[in-house]
Structure formats: C-alpha cells, structure tokens
Amino acid sequence: LGTNTVRFLVVDVDPAGRWSGVAEDQQVTRLGAGLAESGALGEDAMARTSAVVTAYVDRARALGAAGVRIVATSAVREASNGRAFAAAIQAQTGRPVEIVSGAEEARLTLRGVSRGLGGLPGLTLLVDIGGGSTEYVLARDGLAVHAVSLRLGVVALAERFPFPDRVDWSRYGELARHVAERLARELPPTIVAGPVDRLVGTAGTATTLAALDLALTRYDPGRVQGHALHRAAIERLLARLGALSVRQRAALPCLEPGRADLIIPGIAIAQATLDRVGADALV
C-alpha cells in the first residue's frame, strides 16, 4: 500500500518455502496526493485507496488465500491521520494494516531484489524510488550493511515541480538542483563511501525507464529485470519525455497514466543518484 500505487500479489507456497505466483495486479490511487503540503491523507485519496484495498482482499479470499497481509509504507506512516486510516481499513476488511518503518521497507526491498536478480555478490547499492520516500541500501553479498529512508518521493516532487505540458528546462534545472542538494545533505557517508560493484534501481521509475529504453510495446518483466540503464540512455529518455505533455506521456506503451507526471521527478532522482554514487548505469 504505497504513496502512489497499491500492489496485489497472491502466491502458492510449497513446504520448502518456495513460492509461485497465482495472481498479481496494481492500481494507482495516489494516496499521498497533497500529503507534503497538508501533512494528512485526503478524503478522496483515502476513499479511492480503501476501495481498491477492499476489492483486493475480497479477490485474494476468492482465490483461496489462507493468509492476507496488508502492508503500508511511506504515506501511511508519515500522515497525521495515517493510523486512523489503517484502523478504518481494518474495520472494512477484517485484516490489520502493518505500517512498516523506512528501515523495514528497505530490508524487505533488498530481499525482493536479491531474489529477483538471483543474488547480489559483492558490494551493491540499491535505490528504491517511491512515491513518498526513497530508500538506499548498501549491501555486501546480499546482506544489508547500511540503509537509509529519505522523505524524498516523486509524488511530492511532482506537486512542487509540475510539468503538465512540455518540460520547461530551466524549471527542470531547479528540480535537479533541489534533488541533488537533498542527497548531498541527507545521504550518510556510509552509503556513498566508495565505489560499488553495481547500482540497482527498483520500483516504477526504474522499471518504466527500462521498458521505454527497450522499446517494449507490452511490459515484459523478464526483459526489464536486470536491464542496464546507462546514463546516456536516461538522458535520451528525459529529452524524449520532456518534449511531451502529461497526456502524451500517458499514451506511451509501458508508461502507466498514473505515472505520467511522476516519471520526470523520478528521472531527476535517478540522475542525481548516478552523480552522487559516481556510477555509469542503473541495473
């Protein structure tokens, strides 16, 4: 249950703990809309999100799920009414809402990425660009060494630096400087102390950019996962997307309409991360 997107996954688990997917889905509900300014979740955003979560719980039960977990991240943990919203979801679905900390979100993300990429030998820096926060995890041989969760998310950035039409490049420069300054100020030296074997990106910004770089007409996780997004490719994608309005971006294959306004600030975080780490590519 994220700041921008609600994700749904049902799996079969065998006695050895291996699992295989049964069903998955996601819907953009923009739960964190206006949160940065007001400090609270909005009524419309809560209503949209509650309806999707309730439908997903019903769908999971209809598929025979023995256990249903609802896990909330940045928007719910930071909002002044986040716990009240979690209680309302529990009353409606009969299932408690687990509000994870930034550190726990980082740990779980690292586990998922390590499994998805078949292990992470050597030194890896993981960046999870989210709607309400961005997590950085430094891992050695797949085990976290240092982690930090920054209140730097694409939803708040899109609200502060909107580009409904073609990108105003002077305004994008302000966005890029703002993000770079935040990373310089808030990323601990332990995270960016030296070179890493790989920089790995996860979540919607990274996967969308990879799909666009691969010129996919339909999203293919098998090709997206493990794709290397080089700095020059990200710059080309920024120029291409920046020449389009939000409506035109939303019409591109593999770019969800609910992400069309978020992809520009997502690129700013990706570029600033490459610069800060001194990396040439994002896996």
Q: What's the predicted TM-score (pTM) here?
A: 0.86
pLDDT at 52 over 90: yes
Q: What pLDDT, in 10s, does the model give residues 143-173?
A: 999 999 898 999 999 999 999 999 999 999 9
- What is the three-state SS of 174-212? HHHHHHHHHHHHHCCCCCCCCCCCEEEEECHHHHHHHHH
Q: What pLDDT, in 10s, does the model give residues 61-97?
A: 999 999 999 999 989 999 999 999 999 999 999 999 9
Element (H, E) at 126: strand 123-129
Q: CA-to-CA distance for 243 and 246, rounded, in angstroms?
A: 10
Nearest to 159 by CA among 17, 45, 248, 69: 45
pLDDT at 107 over 90: no
Instruction: Identify the residue whose tokens are 């502060």.
Output: 160
Nearest to 266 by CA among 278, 279, 256: 256
45 contacts 52 by C-beta, under 8 angstroms = no
Q: What is the pLDDT of residue 116?
A: 85
